Amino acid sequence: MATILEKTDLLERIKQDLEQTNVDISNLKSSIENGTMKDFEDIMPPTDDVNVRVAQMYRVLSFYGNNGNEKPIWNELRNCFTPSAIMANNTYGEPIRLSVDRFISLFRSQIQQNDFPPFYVRELNYKVEQFGHIAQRFGGFEICYYDKNIENKKGMASMELLLIKGDWKINSMIWQEETEDFKLPLRFVL
């Protein structure tokens, strides 16, 4: 059985994640306490930094457990992508292409069925190429499980982003997990 973070550990982890992505923690706390948090834009403002947008996306993909507010905030994930974005998992040789809404639907279903243990996504090294309002980001990631009996997974992700009205959005994301045949290059691990 997977180890679920204690509430204080979870809150500390979320606080650290929010600090790393420049989210206004005091606004988030007061919005939650007084019940006025109307939308994800209250806690995830637009960003003109490619790296902040990708860090936000990885934070949202992290799954802290199946206890109430520990589930991903789906609208926050949608906010990281353009409405027509495509996500593709190429780990198994034949790409699995999904819209963001389809990805969320599958992820939500797996959470409801307790199909996977809590994890967080940790970004490794990356490279960004940018020209005007387009950017390409290629980098390594690690899926870290809180249950120490489950081996972490590493992989590579390639993302294309668009700057739309001063806000970076991911337009496509392709990822592949590491296998025996395909190991991460050291430059993306260190």
Per-residue pLDDT of 82-120, as tens digits, reads 999 999 999 988 899 999 999 988 888 887 787 677 888
Per the domain annotation, does 80 fall within a domain? yes
At 186, which amino acid appears?
L
Q: What is the pLDDT of residue 21?
A: 45
Residue with token string 């120490």:
148
Over residues 10-31, mean pLDDT: 51
**Is 58 within the bounds of a domain?**
yes
State both tokens at 56: 């936000």
Other Cβ atoms within 10 Å of 182 Cβ, number: 12
- According to DSSP, the β-strands at 119-131 and 134-145 are antiparallel
Distance CA 169, CA 48 (A): 9
What pLDDT was estimated at residue 163? 95
Tell me which residue range forms the domain holding 123: 7-188
For helices 50-61 and 7-20, what crossing angle results, to 10°? 160
* 63 in Cβ contact with 17 (< 8 Å): no
Instruction: Supply the CATH number for residue 33's domain.
Output: 3.10.450.50
For residue 79 the two structure tokens come to: 């906010």
What does the alpha-carbon distance between residue 91 and residue 138 come to, in Å, rounded to a whole number?
A: 16
Residue 189 confidence (pLDDT): 78
- Provide the pLDDT for residue 22: 47
Query: Measured between alpha carbons, how far is 166 from 106 in angstroms, rounded to an integer?
Result: 31
Q: Does a structural domain hold residue 115?
A: yes
Backbone φ, ψ for residue 183 (5° rounding):
-100, 150
Look at residue 2 and tell me if it is in a domain: no
Question: Considering its fold, how many domains does the chain have in total?
Answer: 1
**Does residue 63 sit within a domain?**
yes
Is 106 domain-assigned?
Answer: yes
Classify residue 165: in a domain, yes or no: yes
